[in-house]
């Protein structure tokens, strides 16, 4: 049973590769946006640029005129409310109008929440989406508003050269201190990109990066790569952009390119836990275990609550037979992240490897009860534990369940055949061996040879 203790692979964090355009060239798919980007900052209409980006991903996009009409309506309503108020009162009036009267809502994690059309239509958005709305309104109202970036979060700054304060999109546009962000976000000393006023082209770069994430999540890797490249051209200090592009390189089996991008991300933000975690995954797969362990340690040091880093380090410890350390890391991952099904399964595998089968069965059962995925693997692995305890009927039931979830699960058919052999059910064993031979992938030649011998011994052909 070749996959006996394979487990669930390491987890990258939050996507074959065809390049769209030159590495740092223009995006030929969107001439309107490129026309805007060719202009000086003062001639760029940010709302138009944001809508041009959104049009490529929004199936419900209702036309530029629809969204610009909504913006004009909002600007008209705000003009009378702002009047000659001082800056903080003017910004407070915008927040009250958007969140109080119009019912806009902040919701981090929205898949399309970065795109202005979605925000205007659905009246909700993530930090980038709400910040873009503020910037679009400020541009029309003549307010000196600027986008500001901290790791994985966007806010707004009012700055007229005399008065300056930060505006938090996630808290109804309330003013926040710079100290708050320095204390609550992993902002390294000396990084000049975080917490400064961004130009319009840099804000456009942030939106393009998020569109790249959207495309990557849908397997549209050529479009994602094009957006990452363009975003990094506009925002060359965007550490998260290098991390995202590194993920795309890694998933395209371009390990050296991935390592280079993760290295750039970490150089720009030495506190980027995800960058260390993702680089460690590449090192692990290249067999560079010491470097992987060092990066997992840095990820955990940068973010002590980072469950995935503990989980991934646990997988490395399991693969190198450091089982006590693996169990400790899986325990921590499960403590930090409720319902971490992958950690339960791999902790169960570790228990099985040290022949603590009852504890393994308990973990597989927890994973199954969670109903959060990997049900075929959880049933298969629990079946193996039952098999080694010689509880063959329960093993058979689990193998069948695994096959129910994954009808082409070759390992489950092979294990099922072995279990039927143990309980002396030759006809059932014969069927299972045949199914295994039918679905066995490359690399299973020895198992296929054994299965074919058993098929003949059982009277089959």
pLDDT in tens, 84-142: 789 999 999 999 999 999 999 999 989 899 999 999 999 999 999 999 999 999 999 99
Q: Is residue 30 over pLDDT 80?
A: no
238 conformational bin, left if phi > 0, alpha if psi -120 to 50, beta if neither: beta
Beta strands at 124-125 and 105-106: parallel, antiparallel or unpaired:
parallel
Q: How many CB atoms lie within 10 A of CB 12?
A: 19
Which of 185-189, 319-323, 337-341, 348-352 has the least mean pLDDT? 185-189
CATH fold of the domain at 338-406: 1.25.40
Report, at the CATH architecture level, how domain 31-205 is classified. Answer: Roll (3.10)
Judge whether residue 27 has pLDDT over 80.
no
Mean pLDDT for the chain? 93
- pLDDT tens-place string over residues 320-329: 999 999 999 9
pLDDT at 460: 81
pLDDT at residue 25 in the model: 45
Predicted pLDDT of residue 461: 74
Same fold, 31-205 and 338-406: no
Those residues with Cβ within 8 angstroms of residue 1's Cβ, 6 or more apart along the chain or in another chain = 384, 411, 414, 415, 418, 447
Give the pLDDT of residue 346.
98
pLDDT reported for residue 167: 98
Mean pLDDT of 339-361: 98
Q: Per-residue confidence at 77, pLDDT binned at 50, 70, 90?
A: very high
Q: Flag whether pLDDT at 28 surpasses 60.
A: no
Q: Is the pLDDT of residue 14 over 90?
A: no
| Per-residue pLDDT, 24 | 39
179 pLDDT more than 70: yes
CA dihedral for 373, 320, 289, 309, sign (positive or negative): positive
Q: How far apart are CA 221 and CA 224, in angstroms?
A: 5
First to last CA, the chain: 22
Token output for 252: 């395209």
Extents of the domains making up the chain: 31-205, 338-406, 408-461
């Amino acid at each position: 049973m070749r996959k006996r203790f394979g487990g669930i692979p390491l987890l990258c964090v939050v996507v074959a590769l065809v390049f769209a355009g030159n590495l740092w060239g223009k995006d030929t798919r969107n001439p309107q946006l490129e026309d805007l980007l060719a202009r000086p900052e003062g001639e760029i209409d940010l709302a138009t640029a944001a809508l041009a980006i959104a049009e490529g991903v929004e199936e419900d996009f209702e036309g530029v005129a629809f969204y610009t009409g909504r913006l004009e309506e909002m600007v008209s309503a705000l003009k009378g409310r702002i009047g000659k108020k001082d800056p903080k009162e003017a910004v407070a009036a915008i927040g009250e109008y958007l969140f109080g009267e119009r019912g806009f809502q902040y919701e981090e994690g929205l898949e399309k929440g970065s795109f202005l059309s979605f925000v205007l239509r659905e009246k909700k958005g993530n930090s980038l989406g709400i910040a873009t709305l503020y910037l679009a309104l400020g541009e029309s109202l003549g307010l000196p508003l600027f986008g500001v970036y901290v790791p994985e979060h966007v806010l707004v700054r009012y700055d007229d050269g005399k008065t300056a304060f930060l505006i938090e999109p996630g808290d109804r546009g309330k003013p926040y201190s710079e100290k708050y962000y320095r204390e609550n976000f992993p902002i390294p000393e000396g990084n000049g990109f975080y917490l400064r006023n961004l130009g319009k082209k840099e804000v456009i770069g942030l939106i393009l990066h998020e569109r790249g994430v959207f495309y990557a999540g849908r397997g549209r890797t050529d479009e994602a790569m094009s957006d990452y490249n363009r975003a990094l051209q506009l925002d060359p200090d965007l550490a998260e952009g290098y991390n995202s592009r590194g993920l795309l390189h890694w998933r395209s089996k371009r390990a050296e390119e991935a390592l280079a991008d993760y290295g750039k991300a970490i150089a720009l933000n030495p506190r980027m836990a995800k960058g260390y975690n993702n680089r460690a995954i590449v090192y692990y797969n290249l067999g560079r275990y010491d470097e992987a362990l060092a990066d997992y340690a840095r990820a955990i040091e940068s973010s002590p609550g980072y469950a995935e880093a503990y989980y991934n380090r646990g997988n490395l410890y399991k693969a190198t037979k450091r089982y006590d350390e693996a169990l400790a890391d899986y325990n921590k991952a499960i403590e930090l992240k409720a319902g971490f099904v992958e950690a339960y399964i791999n902790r169960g595998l570790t228990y099985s490897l040290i022949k603590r089968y009852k504890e393994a069965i308990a973990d597989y059962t927890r994973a199954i009860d969670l109903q959060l995925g990997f049900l075929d693997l959880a049933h298969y692995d629990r079946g193996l534990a039952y098999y080694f305890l010689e509880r063959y009927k329960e093993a058979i039931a689990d193998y069948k369940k695994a096959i129910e979830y994954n009808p082409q699960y070759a390992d489950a058919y092979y294990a099922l055949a072995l279990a039927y052999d143990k309980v002396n059910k030759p006809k059932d064993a014969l069927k299972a061996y045949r199914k295994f031979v039918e679905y066995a992938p490359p690399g299973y030649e020895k198992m296929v040879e054994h299965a074919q011998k058993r098929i003949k011994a059982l009277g089959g052909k």
